[in-house]
Homo-oligomer: A and B are copies of this chain.
């Protein structure tokens, strides 16, 4: 009909109320602090007009003029919603959403970031980060280079998940995988396990490196033997927890079956799986073969896992709380308050049913294997 309808502006409200645009702005922002006074009935007139039209200040204009608009951007490398990653991100969003609501901020999903070279890029000619007052970064791995730019750029942001420094300290709200993984290893050792394996990359993303670090440290401390069963291609970067790499026997395994071979062949009695899905697959395969190994999975599924009725031993990532804390840190940063901008939240240990005392026949197996070559 009439093309794109013009949106209601403060001018319109001003005309309706018979006042100036300035007055409307002042009323809206409740500027009681300054030297500007508005008579109660003038204020009422304005508020009535606003209520009648449902007027809301244009966030874009607001941000241009005032440099803030009470909008929090959420940026992620991976798409947030797809079930491809097993709803892994959902709890973060719930936490973010709840806290954002409670402090009266809206959430803007920065979906418009184009994919270049197979991943979304923050920086490109039309980057929209600045539409929001600040933003929360979601996703397993963030390009360190982009992170550095972001730090340099000065736009407030918080990463969900610990990040190494990138041209400056990176604000984050992460999970303390080091301690949690170590606690799980300790528990395994308590139960009698002496040869443990870590199944996964153990490096690349910080979250993986941290898990691996916890594993290695705890094994060393407890005097347990540690083996690292790594997938063929460590997903791009291969360094990870550099200091510890090499101390531990490392073996590349092509798939879960190969991993199980390695486990059984070397008399390993407990496997700490980086990815839930791998742990599940390994456990089920072992069960089919009637091999009694313990399996611990380090976190909720990020890939679809085979359905199972077993409750896995492992750790619980406080995702919702992480989301909430990220909002807290971000708003503090936006307002220039000084806060602890790097936070690690404790992961609960899930006892589960898959971490038990080693089977009595584990030792013989070990012996046999040792004598094999």
The stretch of A94-102, A172-180, A244-252, A256-264 in contact with B is A94-102
Interface string of A58-83 (1 = CB under 8 A from B): 11110110011111000000011111
Give 1 or 0 for each of A100-142: 1 = CB within 8 Å of chain B CB.
1100111111111110000000010111111100000000000
B111 touches A109 (CB 8 A): no
Contact present for A59 and B334 (CB under 8 Å)? no
Cα–Cα, bound, A106→B104 (Å): 19
A129 vs B54: C-alpha distance when bound (angstroms): 9
Q: Is there an interface contact between A153 and B54, defined as CB atoms closer than 8 Å? A: yes
Asked whether, in the complex, the Cβ of B79 is within 8 Å of the Cβ of A83, the reply is no
Contact A87 B83 (CB under 8 A): yes
Asked if A221 is at the interface of the complex by the 8 Å CB criterion, the answer is: no
Chain A interface size, as a band, is 35 or more
Assess A130 versus B97: contact at CB under 8 Å? Given A4-B68, A71-B108, A90-B87: no
Which residues, 133 to 177 on A, are CB-close (under 8 Å) to B? 153-156
Give a binary string over A1-35; 1 marks a CB under 8 Å from any B CB, 0 the rest: 00111011000000000000000000000000000
Query: Among residues 288 to 322 in chain A, which have CB atoms less than 8 Å away from a CB atom of chain B?
Result: none
Q: Is A335 an interface residue (CB 8 A)?
A: yes
Task: Say yes or no: is A51 at the interface (Cβ < 8 Å to chain B).
Answer: yes
A17 to chain B, nearest CB (A): 17
Inter-chain contact B64/A123, CB cutoff 8 Å? no
Inter-subunit contact B4/A59 (CB<8 Å): no
User: Which chain B positions have C-beta within 8 A of A101?
Assistant: 79, 111-114
Instruction: Give A149 to B156 CA distance when docked, in angstroms.
Output: 37
Contact partner of A130 among B56, B94, B334, CB < 8 A? B56
How far does the alpha carbon of A82 sit from the alpha carbon of B320 in the complex, in Å? 10
> Shortest CB–CB separation between residue A230 and chain B, in angstroms?
32
Q: Which residues of B contact A125 (CB under 8 A)?
A: 51, 56-57
Q: Are B64 and A130 in contact (CB under 8 A)?
A: no
Give, as a whole number of angstroms, the nearest-CB distance from A273 to chain B. 23
Q: Would you call A93 an interface residue if the criterion is a C-beta within 8 Å of the partner chain's C-beta atoms?
A: yes
Other 12 A-B pairs with CB < 8 A, given A8-B130, A57-B125, A60-B63? A4-B334, A54-B129, A58-B130, A59-B127, A61-B64, A79-B97, A79-B98, A80-B97, A82-B94, A97-B109, A108-B109, A109-B109
**Chain A residues at the B interface, C-beta cutoff of 8 Å:** 3-5, 7-8, 51, 54-61, 63-64, 67-71, 79-83, 87, 90-91, 93-94, 97-98, 100-101, 104-114, 123, 125-131, 153-156, 334-336
Interface CB pairs A-B, < 8 A, 6: A5-B156, A58-B64, A59-B126, A60-B60, A79-B97, A109-B109
